[in-house]
Structure 1
Amino acid sequence: MNTAAKVGSFTAGLGLAFGAAFGIGSAVGPVGGDPAPAHDGTRDHGNGAEHGSTTDGSTDGTTDSSTDGTTQEDGDMDHGAPTGHGSTTPGGLQIAERGYTLVPPAGPLTAGERTELAFRVLGPGGEPLTAYTPTHEKDLHLIVARRDLSGFQHVHPTLGEDGTWRVPLTFPRAGDYRMFADFAPAGDDGGPLTLGADVPVGGDYAPVPLPAPAATAEVDGYTVTLDGTLAAGADSTLTLSVARDGEPVTDLEPYLGAYGHLVALREGDLAYLHVHPQGEPGDGTTPAGPGITFHTSAPSDGTYRLYLDFQHEGTVRTAEFTVVAGQAQGQGHGESGHTH
């Protein structure tokens, strides 16, 4: 695999293959209690059970970050990237696919209150799915974001014997949220799936403006720098470099089998892409920072929000970026038809 993996739909690390499981163009479909990671204060992230890693870098099996598919050692995209699983459509745009159906919580939830989010995945026979093939050390990865691309949370629920997934979450503000279930059914040769559904959270809704594109993101004393240009329909190479207090971080810790995980959402329809970086810890060639390299390809022109999870000193943090791909890139965010 060359250094240009795909940023598919919200399903494997910073290798950004836009077109896998992680809205805007008609070309790709209709618009349709562990330590929580520190986040950039410019966005709404909530305080759900995010990233349940322990201080030694291991995970607790309930809430962590990183999702989908089989481990991609060469940086390939999981979940529906243009070269993934034979699909050119990003994931997360459908509530049902291949006979599997995501059943979201019933009724509106309440903003600002910690609540137990419960949902099921039904199999082709209509019964709750209880057998999964682990992908990146978890049976299912759950991503939640408000439709204005704020309030991002990436967690790992617990499966009950009756097929119900449960995880404690706080939705920080009212509005419509999108939930993405990223999983691989056991015994299904079709590969991993990413199903999506809207979750209403009651209260007064005030959209949060999408931050303008920028090459750096600050989170909890760390600075993450993005190097590279995202191209629509063409391979790109992106490198994200982590520094703290002006010094490069060269001892990033493995987290769910990688030094970094990337989820990408396309503005408008929230097409989901989740990818993983080039290489893996312990392969003898991949350094533990400061740079994490990803091979990417956006499925269409438009604006994307990137969420990079990385772990250092036992804590998982999320750095966020706004990236414009394709023809809109030279127009500026406000001139390309966006209201943010």
Structure 2
Amino acid sequence: MNTAMKLSGFVLGLAAVFGAAYGAGQVTGPAGPVVAGHDGGAAGHDEGDPAAAGHDAGDSGHGDGATGHLPGGLLVADRGYTLMPVEAPKSEFAFRITGPDGSPVTGYDVSHDERMHLIVARRDLSGFRHVHPEMAADGTWRIASPLASPGVWRAFADFTPTGGAPMTLGVDVTVPGELTERPLPAPANRTTVDGYTVSLAGAPQPGRSATLSLTVSRDGTPVTNLEPYLGAYGHLVALRHGDLAYLHVHPEGSPGDGWTAPGPEVSFITEFPSAGAYRLYLDFRHGGVVRTAEFTVHVGEPGSVSVPAPGTPEPGPGTPEPEPGTSDDEHGTPGHEHD
């Protein structure tokens, strides 16, 4: 990924996939969702059969639209690599990546300070975690389970196999229990997390590059000493509402490059390839803690986030808190330390 990294890799021809709000994981992931915390581990996925996902392990999804491939996270198998959850205690989440020869992959390039980025989100987008598991000698990745509540979750493994290209594979995981669906929050230009206010500016349009800028303040004061996290001052993940297509970009510039300021503004060059609703998750570190600010944006539709008018002041100590529906604290993930 470079400093002009784009949210890219899929096209308007995916409308049929985009419309499958809850079942997309069943189509593009395993034949049945993995069950976590049931009989001591994960079940419902045949580790020895990559085709159990409904895809040939070597099928990259080419042939869809002008770009020739599907968006990240919609496939459980791509270019010969397959994401396979494995048995684990209820308190853990474990998986392997198998390569074109069917063996577990043990060689990974470091990307943004880590060899593996695991992102999980509930399918109603009411939960989100970005964590970093540890790999055992046999190629099994393990971490304390980031699946926080009952429901169907999508787990994304974001990695670069040694000698290969970056890729993101996804699989559905079911956490048993009583499920309470939550509606997607309304679009908003501002949200709060742990006393921090994060403002979003930008006018994303489908199929066009656009800059999204996120500005961090605390008690009305701009935060000008953001701390590096995974080699950057912020990380942005977007998930498309409906099929949970995964989009991941990093900000322009990097700490120590001589021109990138440590806040309050972090800017990203993005490209949303289709109209629709997206959930954005900004990870930033301050005071030694990584927090996640969440937004809903409607790209190319009424209610889209737009650039604030010139001269619009940042929220100050006397600025009212966002009205219900503009702050995502109840829907999303409060500030937390990332693993």
Contact kept, 8 Å, 1:28 with 1:88, in 2: the verdict is no
Aligned equivalent of 2:201: 227
**Quick one: structure 1 residues 159 and 2, their matched pair in 2 at CA, closer, same or farther if it must change by over 3 Å?**
closer
Q: 1:202 aligns with which of 176, 198, 202?
A: 176
User: How far has the Cα of 1:106 moved from its partner?
Assistant: 5.3
State the partner residue of 1:104: 85
Aligned to 1:218: 192
- Asked if the contact 1:307–1:318 (Cα under 8 Å) also holds between the matched residues in 2, the reply is yes
Aligned to 1:262: 236
2:96 to 115, 120, 135: 120
- CA distance in 2 between counterparts of 1:144 and 1:27 reads 23
Would the alpha carbon gap of residues 215 and 25 (structure 1) be closer, same or farther in structure 2, given more than 3 Å must change? farther
Contact 2:107–2:162, Cα closer than 8 Å, also in 1:
yes
Distance 1:88 1:304 in 2: 20
> What residue identity is the alignment partner of 1:6?
K
Written as runs of structure 1 = structure 2, the 5 A alignment for 1:47-66 is none
Find the aligned partners of 1:4 and 1:158 in 2 and give their Cα distance. Answer: 29
What is the aligned partner in structure 1 of residue 123 from structure 2? 147
1:237 corresponds to 2:208: no
Residue 291 of structure 1 pairs with residue 268 of structure 2: no
Structure 2 CA distance, aligned partners of 1:120 and 1:256? 23
For 1:204 and 1:270, the matched residues in 2 are separated by 22
* Bigger Rg, structure 1 or 2: 2
C-alpha distance 118-288 of structure 1, shift in aligned 2 (>3 A)? same
Does the 8 Å CA contact 2:206/2:272 hold for their aligned counterparts? yes
Shift of 1:150: 1.4
- The equivalent of 1:26 in structure 2 is 14
Amino acid at match of 1:198: D
- Matched letter for residue 96 of structure 1: A
Shift of 1:287: 0.6
Q: Are 1:308 and 2:289 an aligned pair? A: no
TM-superposed deviation, 1:26: 2.4
Letter in 1 for 2:205: A
How many Å apart are 1:296 and its aligned residue? Answer: 1.1
Q: Size of the alignment, in residue pairs? A: 262
Cα root mean square deviation, aligned: 2.8
Change (3 A) 1:5 1:126: closer
Q: Residues 54-89 of structure 1: CA distance to partner in whole angstroms, max 9, x if unpaired? A: xxxxxxxxxxxxxxxxxxxxxxxxxx9xxxxx7653
Q: Which residue of structure 2 aligns with residue 91 of structure 1?
A: 72
Aligned twin of 1:251 = 225
Structure 2: state its 5+ residue gaps. Answer: 25-60, 62-66, 306-324, 326-330, 332-339
Give the superposition deviation at 1:104.
1.9
Give runs of aligned pairs for residues 155-174 of structure 1, distance below 5 A. Answer: 155-174=131-150
Partner of 1:133: 109
Q: 1:177 aligned to 119, 140, 153, which one? A: 153
Percent of aligned positions that are identical: 58
Secondary structure, counterpart of 1:327 in structure 2: coil
* Cα distance in 2 for residues equivalent to 1:215 and 1:154: 23
Equivalent pair of 2:117/2:159 in contact (CA under 8 Å): yes
Cα drift, residue 328 of structure 1: 4.9
Counterpart of 2:270, as a letter, is T
Q: Spell out, residue by residue over 1:118-156, the C-alpha distance to the aligned partner (whole angstroms, 9 max, x if none).
A: 111101000111110111111110000100011101000
1:325 alignment counterpart: 299
Q: Measure, in 1, the Cα distance between the counterparts of 2:189 and 2:201.
A: 7
Could you report, residue by residue, the CA deviation over 1:296-318 in whole angstroms, capped at 9, with x for unpaired residues?
11010100000000011111110
Query: How far off its partner does 1:3 sit?
Result: 9.0
Contact 1:132 1:185 in 2 (8 A): yes
Q: Find the residue that maps to 1:258 and give its secondary structure.
A: coil
Q: CA separation in 2, counterparts of 1:27 and 1:2? A: 28
Counterpart of 1:62 in structure 2 is none
CA distance in structure 1 between the partners assigned to 2:3 and 2:81 by the alignment? 33
In the superposition, the TM-score normalised over structure 2's length comes to 0.72
Structure 2 partner of 1:279: 253
> Whole-Å Cα distance in 2 between the matches of residues 247 and 273 of structure 1?
31
Match of 2:49 in 1: none
Task: Give the deviation of 1:2 after TM superposition.
Answer: 12
Partner Cα separation in structure 2 for residue 330 and residue 251 of structure 1: 30
Give, as a single letter, the amino acid of the residue that structure 2 aligns with 1:122. Answer: T
Structure 2 letter corresponding to 1:302: G
- Residue 199 of structure 1 aligns to a residue whose secondary structure is strand
Q: Identify the residue that residue 40 of structure 1 maps to in structure 2.
A: none
Q: CA deviation at 1:173?
A: 1.8
Give, in whole Å, the separation in 1 of the partners of 2:125 and 2:241.
7
